[in-house]
Every structure is written in structure tokens, then in C-alpha cells.
Amino acid sequence: MSTARNTEGRGVRLAVDGGATKLLMGVVDRSGPTPRLGEQASVPGFQWTTGEDPIDQQCRRVVSAWVALGRPAPVEVVALGLAGGAYDRPSRERLAPLLAEQLGASTVLLTGDDVTSHLGVLGGDSGVVVSAGTGVNCLAVTPGGELTNIDGMGYLFGDAGGGFSLGLAGLRAAVAGYEGRGATTALTARAEERVGRPLREAVKAWYRSPSLIADVASFAAEVAVLAASDPVARVLCLSAGEELSVCTSAAVRKAFPTAADGSVPVSWTGSVLGGPVIFDAFAAGLAQLCPAAELRDPRGDSLAGAARLAVDQDVPHIAGVVVHSAGAPTTTTAKS
């Protein structure tokens, strides 16, 4: 078993990015001028079930990743960006000391994955970042440390343009084509390959899957691939890109209401915007709806943002972070 211990006589610093599909933990390498990620481990993400405390599940998942990493210790700092579960300040204030106890961590820095994504993607700069993975969250951070969220409402009440939304639309189109109540589409054959045959019965069986959200979201990749050749898939991807541009534009207008044209850095993260048809629709919609936006390539991701937070808390994003230190009360500097 790996030990992943720090060799410089200092405690280990860990970075965590946790979402619905998977949770990643990495050891932060501080040997260079900027933090880098060393050894990493991955475990399944968060799947909420009735009667289960999501805080307890998140704690177990983080501990599982730590065990998979070889229980590196002593843990000086662990910085976490987690989706769902501990979504508000009270729940994060409950989770942080649990994590400190389980990992033996001196300091826990706990926030949403939207905050760590923003920090990683824009490298600590202010601006707007849209995260489009299984779900969707758009976060604006001003130079003064004001945080504004758009969407992030989950797969039932929001997340338009995200992986679950697109995957679900693709599966619905596949079944409709299979039954003859919708347009013929290559999505039907792709769904049969992914879900099973006969398609109706196979899709119904998916209701019993403990990883249903991740399963449905994974089909978004199939929709994105087929968008280049299948008209139905293309329409769905164009719609996803447009939805993401609407979300991002709303964040720019709300957080930077008086911004001049081209003055607000905007970037993105997440697998959904890796699809060319989706990204082109997103970029075109953003240019039309939001002249103030300046689209930038991402510098990093949520795990990189967590690594940055683990070594440097002098960023405006700290307003959205709950801080727990061993022997001291859990604190938060501002809004979650």
C-alpha cells in the first residue's frame, strides 16, 4: 500500500474535487513556485438515496479516497470542493469537523466545487466560470470577494444544458425513435449499445440502478459525438449550448451590471463543453447575449483550484469557504 507521505518534514496537504460521478483526491506538491498535484486517487461520487444523510455519505467518500491514496499523514490541510450534500453554510459547518476528525487534519477548507472550479479555471482572477458536468453551476466572483451563483439547482429543478439534462434528452429521443413516436435517430442504436436490448425494457431496468444519475449523464457523451452526423442529436446539443450561454450571461449581468464590453473574464469547465457543437453554440450565444464577456481558455480545473486553496487562502474566493481548525470553532468569512 502506498503511503504518499510528505518527505520535507511538513504535514501533507490534500486537494479534493467531489461530484455526482466521481471524487478525486490528490496530494499537493509544494516543491515548486506553484502548487502541483502529485499522487491521486478516485472513488465513486455522490448518489443520494432516501433516508441517507448526504453529509455522512460525503464524509465516507472523502475518507474512502484518503484510504485509496494510502492514508497520507499527518494531514496539515485538506481543501475540498464538493457538489451537492453540504450545499449550504450550516451543512458545511457540520461536515468540516467530521472530516477533520476522520482524517486527523489540522485544517479543513470546505466549499462547493463551483468555488474550486472558478479558482482553478481563472487562476484566482475575478470573473465568471460556468461548470457543465453532470450538473451546471455558474459562479461569478468580483474583485471585492462577492460571490454570485446562477443555477446549480440539481437535476430535477435546474442544471439546464448539463450532462444529466443532455443525456436524458438523448435517451428520450432514442426511445421515441424506437417506438415510432419521434424522429428516426442514430441515438436509438447507440442507446441499445449502452443500455441494452430490447430498449424499452432495458431503460425501465435503469430505474433500479444505484448510480442512475451518473448513468444518464454518461449518455451525454454519446449525444455529443453523434451531433456531427445525426440531426436529432445536433438539435439537442445546440439547445444545451444555448442554455449554458443564457446561464453564463445572467451571471455576468448580475455580478458586473456596469461592465464595459469585453471586460469580464469568462471561462468554463466540465466535460459537456468539450463537445464542438455544444461549445460553438455556447460561444455564439454568449457573444450575442453578453457583450461584456471576454471568453478565455481555462487554466485548470476544480482539483487544481482545490490545490491552490490548500496553499493560498489570499483569494477573493475565500468568502465562500468554511474553515475548520483543530481546537478552534468552525468559521466562514461570508456567503457560501
Answer whether residue 3 is part of any domain. no
pTM: 0.84
pLDDT band at 244 (very low <50, low <70, confident <90, very high): very high
Same domain? 280 vs 170: yes
Same domain? 194 vs 269: yes
- Host domain of residue 65: 12-123+301-332
Same domain? 219 vs 308: no
**Averaged pLDDT of the chain:** 90
Position 1 scores a pLDDT of 34
Question: For position 157, which CATH number holds?
Answer: 3.30.420.40
Least reliable range by pLDDT among 38-52, 92-106, 139-153, 290-304:
38-52
**How do beta strands 264-269 and 127-132 pair?**
parallel
Same domain? 217 vs 276: yes
Is the model's pLDDT at 286 over the cut of 50?
yes
List pLDDT tens digits, range 197-207. 999 999 999 99
List pLDDT tens digits, range 44-68. 887 666 667 889 989 999 999 999 9
Same domain? 231 vs 155: yes
Angle, CA of 327, 330 and 335, to the nearest 5°: 160
Structurally, the chain folds into a number of domains equal to 2
Position 228 scores a pLDDT of 96
For residues 243-248, average pLDDT: 98
